[in-house]
Amino acid sequence: MQLNKFIDHTNLKPTATPGDIKKLCSEAIAHQFYAICINSCYVKLAYEELKTSEIKLAAVVGFPLGAMDMNSKVFEAEQCIANGADEIDMVINIGQLKAGNIELVENEIALIKKAIGRKILKVIIETCYLSEEEKIAACECALRAKANFVKTSTGFGTSGASFDDVKLMKSVVKEELQIKASGGIKDTETAEKYIKMGVARLGTSSGISIIQ
């Protein structure tokens, strides 16, 4: 199993400096990870670092709370693509989902997908804050809005990915959407188990230790 090809090598820390992002890019190239995942302010910088490589560039939108104004999220996604991002990892509006405003949540995902066109959209549902019914509803929103992935977590919530959540998400999206497990994935055994469950991508800042 080529674990490196499943990994989004990630640095989303609020303290990440331009130097940290350059280091992330050079590590991704050295270990041939699938992608890097970074905050939107560093997309231009990372694009320059990666442009001669095959590494994909994923940027987060509405991160990490998901509570930004809808138009602001759409604009951020558009800016990321304009600056060279290949993929967008967006956080849903968690509070609106919990309030039962399903149409609003779905519409926001659909607007961002429309804004980025053929680029990949991953929808972070932040499972740690959701009931089972809400997790199902969030996955159904991503399905109807024609996203490409559902993603477990930001890594900034009260907990990250779990095997139970991935199993539940898989039961909803089946083969129609891919799944990204993210948050708390730090060792090879855990990474391999997620992949065997059908996870297509792993978001982790521990990619180097996982593959070594």
Catalytic residues: 89, 151, 180
d(CA 40, CA 52) in angstroms, rounded, equals: 20
CB 180 within 8 A of CB 202: yes
Helices (H) and strands (E) in the chain, counts: 9, 8
Residue 77, phi-psi category: left (phi > 0), alpha (psi -120 to 50), beta (remainder): alpha
d(CA 122, CA 91): 9
d(CA 32, CA 114): 30
Among 118, 134, 72, smallest CA distance to 90 is for 72
Is residue 150 within 8 Å of 122, Cβ to Cβ?
yes
